[in-house]
Amino acid sequence: MRLLVTGGCGFIGSNFIRYILEHYDPEYVTNVDALTYAGNIANVAGLAAQYGDRYEFFHADIANADLMDELMRKHHFFAVINFAAESHVDRSINSPQNFIHTNSVGTSVLLDAARRHGVRRFVQISTDEVYGSLGPEGRFTEESPISPSSPYSASKAGADQLALAFHKTYGEEVVVTRCSNNYGPYQYPEKLIPLMATNAMRDRKLPVYGDGLNVRDWIHVEDHCAAIVAVLFNGQPGQVYNIGADCELTNLDLVRRILAHLGKPEDLIEFVADRLGHDRRYAIDSTKIRTELGWKPLHNIEKALPATIDWYAANREWWEKLIP
């Protein structure tokens, strides 16, 4: 069985490839990535040597219809797992067209190519940000209305709707996953946890938006990967599955935990002007995937966050090549 993993040189995609190759022999993986700023070939270093012909890399933009057609003609893929995305909200505010190109147009190209070449399953990897902002109570369910606040989340919401429309129109076996904030190794260092950790390691200021009381729901990337596998093999076509670990923290609390683990003073925190359209709170209700597919998270942030920080401390060469 061969899987096409798009965006496999990014944070979650590369972790997924490592997870599936390690835990599910003899699955074969083709990784397609355009290697934009957040796609780092170093994230998959050693996979070809370790797994031989079970792993291959194809350098391409998923919005290039000719290249996607060529790739799907070459292999008989069981499934496409679409991680490929521009994902940093700040960058989407400054340059929304890049996000529309990859997240919306790219997804439509993949869906069409998969349909024409008989790909059995299509897993669209989305985000809880498509739901918009929550008040102080409640959680997002799969029935929550979509209300994106940024060009990033709008482009992802559009991709989700396209994917579900391909199921309704063509009968394509599409499943959509919407996950809360991920943490773990290989995350591009502009994101909150690696940014704060790497700044603290260098005794630089830690910029915190607004009052720092925006709430995010955190999940370790390996738990996310396990959930995607459950959806890939057992999810019902045409359905959306929320993925979360019931771990809500304010940004300020998270930053303080990072500083405490590194033994750095809290006066490194610097409050800065809030992000435009900054959602106040996200929280995921993952009852559906837990009850229907039997998935549950295995990592606890009390242990997994320090381990993640330690990974960045031990891999300075990896992130120092990416940020000044």
Per cent of the chain over pLDDT 70 is 99
Residue 26: per-residue pLDDT: 80
205 vs 69: CA distance, rounded Å = 47
Mean pLDDT of 146-168: 94
Residue 101: per-residue pLDDT: 86
Mean pLDDT of 136-162: 93
Residue predicted with more confidence, 31 or 278? 31
Mean pLDDT of 182-209: 97
Residue 91: per-residue pLDDT: 78
Q: Which residues are catalytic?
A: 128-129, 152
Phi, psi for 77 (deg, rounded to 5) = -80, 140
Whether the predicted model's global pTM rises above the 0.85 cut = yes
Nearest Cα to 9, choosing from 39, 38, 30?
39
Single-letter amino acid code for the residue at 192: L
Least confidently predicted of 106-115, 148-157, 218-227, 229-238:
148-157
Phi, psi for 284 (deg, rounded to 5) = -105, 135
From edge to edge, which strands make up the β-sheet containing 248-250?
181-183, 215-220, 248-250
51 vs 131: CA distance, rounded Å = 38
How does the average pLDDT of the chain come out, rounded? 95
Mean pLDDT of 168-196: 97
Tokens of 149: 């606040």
Q: Which residues of 31-47 are buried (b: 16+ CB within 10 A; e: fewer)?
A: bbbbeeebbbeebbeeb
Residue 87: per-residue pLDDT: 67
Nearest Cα to 227, choosing from 279, 175, 173?
175
Q: For residue 254, name the pLDDT band (cuts at 50, 70, 90).
A: very high
Residue 4 scores a pLDDT above 80? yes
Angle at 14 between CA 122 and CA 125, to 5 degrees: 30
Mean pLDDT of 271-286: 94
Q: How do residues 39-57 score in pLDDT, each as one tens digit? A: 899 999 999 999 999 999 9
Per cent of the chain over pLDDT 90 is 86
Report the Cα 289 to chain-centroid distance in Å. 17
Q: Give Cα separations from 294 to 227, 230, 231 (angstroms).
A: 9, 8, 10
Residue predicted with more confidence, 290 or 323? 290
**Helices and strands, counts by H and E, the chain:** 13, 12
Residue 93: per-residue pLDDT: 77
181 vs 200: CA distance, rounded Å = 21
Residue 86 scores a pLDDT above 90? no
286 vs 309: CA distance, rounded Å = 26
Complete DSSP assignment for 264-292: --GGGEEEEPPPTT---B--B--HHHHHH
Q: How do residues 59-74 score in pLDDT, each as one tens digit? A: 999 999 999 999 999 9
238 vs 245: CA distance, rounded Å = 23
Residue 149: per-residue pLDDT: 86
User: 10 Å Cβ neighbour count for 28?
Assistant: 19
Residue 272 scores a pLDDT above 70? yes
Residue 323: per-residue pLDDT: 86
Q: For residue 88, name the pLDDT band (cuts at 50, 70, 90).
A: low
Record: fold of 2-187+219-245+281-298: Rossmann fold (3.40.50)
Least confidently predicted of 61-70, 86-95, 213-222, 239-248:
86-95
Q: Let me know: does 129 contact 153? Beta carbons within 8 Å.
A: yes
In terms of Cβ atoms closer than 10 Å to its own Cβ (0-12, 13-18, 19+), residue 202 is: exposed
Q: Give Cα separations from 193 to 144, 218, 258 (angstroms).
A: 27, 11, 8
User: 10 Å Cβ neighbour count for 313?
Assistant: 14
